[in-house]
Structure 1
Amino acid sequence: MNTFINTIALGTAALACTAALAADAPAGKAQTDHQLIRSAMAAAPRKVGAGATIIVAGKDGGMRTLREGSNGYTCMPDNPATPGPDPMCMDRAALDWAGAWMAHKEPAAGKVGFMYMLSGGTDASNTDPYATRPGPDKHWVKTGPHVMLVGAEQAFYDMYPKNPDPDTSMPYVMWPGTPYQHLMIPVK
């Protein structure tokens, strides 16, 4: 039951992050479950994606499991309504972190989670965890393929740049100074 609740929280978090539904393709471009699974698996290394649970958000905001997994990772497909590729795959601790973020609750400190976004990432605010579009004070950044470390202790993040307009070609802290700060690590 806890996994199901966390899966729903992850889906809701992804919806807030992209301000659109992950399963909603533009008119005339609906994706099959097979295409959604392939998209979700592309977020992580082949072996991780192959063993991950794959979920997708529905039009009603609920979550649908496309495939049960066995390795403790949960992946979501790209959201075609966003400007860049943004499939994601995360371990259990990152799933819990995403649930706390969406619920506007404090994530568990020191419960470090790992998230893959190897197909790239969409544009996002580097300072506002809940921004859904650019604005003069949102410090919008474009990310490429990356991994994320979430839920670490404050001292860990203090070792990395926290510039509101970071150099996204090197590791930096996204959403610094918030309970949802996390380390962005480019892989290309």
Structure 2
Amino acid sequence: MAHIEPHGASGSYSNSAITALHAGELHAASRDEQILAAKISRAMSSGPLHITRDATIAEMDGHGNPVVLRQGTNQWVCFPGDENKIGDVPMCADPMGLQWMLDIMASKPAPTNTAPGIIYMLCGATQHSNTDPFDKTSPAIPIGPHWMILWPYSAAHDGLPNNVRDAGAWVMFDGTPYAYLHVSGTPWAGNEYTPGQAPVWTMRYGAPTEH
């Protein structure tokens, strides 16, 4: 499992900074505090709040190693990313997802996670390629909010598409060791079914039609 070095702000300091950011009070904070709060806010927006509010917030140092900005209390790690760099986007990963991410960043021949991982990118993303996991030069491909199941998938075997889409799911990096399932949107899209409701022709759940 990936190791993350603790460094930077403590959890309480960072939480107060992010609270100040949402309260619009950062005009009185130092520049470093403002930058830290903005990074934490962006990282927390990358995944479901019930996960990100307790997650460790980290960023990559110049050697590609994660450095903690706020220590969390669950197993998730969220990153603020850098909007000026293609592929460096806000994300939140569980331990196996983090291992997969560090492996691909290090250009390892294949990922080493021993169980399926999850990464949320609910802020959307840009990346260089849908087919080559190590492409660092092609023009940016814009991709909407999504989440990823990081385990071997095959488009042909699993009956799934492998081209970029604005909805649904596809196998990204199909045919490579880094192939995984890319799911557009969030797991909470659509209307929730409750007993007593009836399906309407659009297959959106709503109140039963009265006659």
Fold agreement, TM-score > 0.5: yes
**Which residue does the alignment assign to 2:129?**
125
**Which residue does the alignment assign to 1:68?**
71
1:153-188 per-residue CA deviation (whole Å, 9 max, x = no partner) reads 65897331124xx32322111111111111111116
Q: Which letter maps to 1:148?
A: M
CA–CA separation in structure 1 for the residues paired with 2:119 and 2:156: 17
Matched-pair contact (CA < 8 Å) for 1:157–1:182: no
Q: Which letter maps to 2:54?
A: G
**Which residue does the alignment assign to 1:179?**
177
TM-score normalised by the chain length of structure 1 = 0.72
CA–CA separation in structure 1 for the residues paired with 2:157 and 2:80: 28
**Which residue does the alignment assign to 1:42?**
45
CA 94–156 in structure 1, closer or farther in 2 if over 3 Å, else same: farther
- What displacement does 1:84 show? 8.6
Q: Which letter maps to 1:73?
A: W
CA–CA separation in structure 2 for the residues paired with 1:79 and 1:117: 13
2:53 aligned counterpart, secondary structure: helix
Give unmatched runs, 5+ long, in structure 2.
6-30, 187-211
**Which residue does the alignment assign to 2:142?**
142
CA 154–169 in structure 1, closer or farther in 2 if over 3 Å, else same: closer
1:72 aligned counterpart, secondary structure: coil
TM-score normalised by the chain length of structure 2 = 0.65
CA–CA separation in structure 2 for the residues paired with 1:124 and 1:65: 27
CA 108–159 in structure 1, closer or farther in 2 if over 3 Å, else same: farther
Q: How high is the sequence identity, in percent, across the aligned residues?
A: 32
Q: How many residues align?
A: 159
- What displacement does 1:3 show? 4.2
CA 157–126 in structure 1, closer or farther in 2 if over 3 Å, else same: farther
Larger Rg: 2
- What displacement does 1:115 show? 0.7
CA 112–156 in structure 1, closer or farther in 2 if over 3 Å, else same: farther
CA 153–82 in structure 1, closer or farther in 2 if over 3 Å, else same: closer
**Which residue does the alignment assign to 2:195?**
none
1:114-147 per-residue CA deviation (whole Å, 9 max, x = no partner) reads 1100011113300111112326xxxx63211000
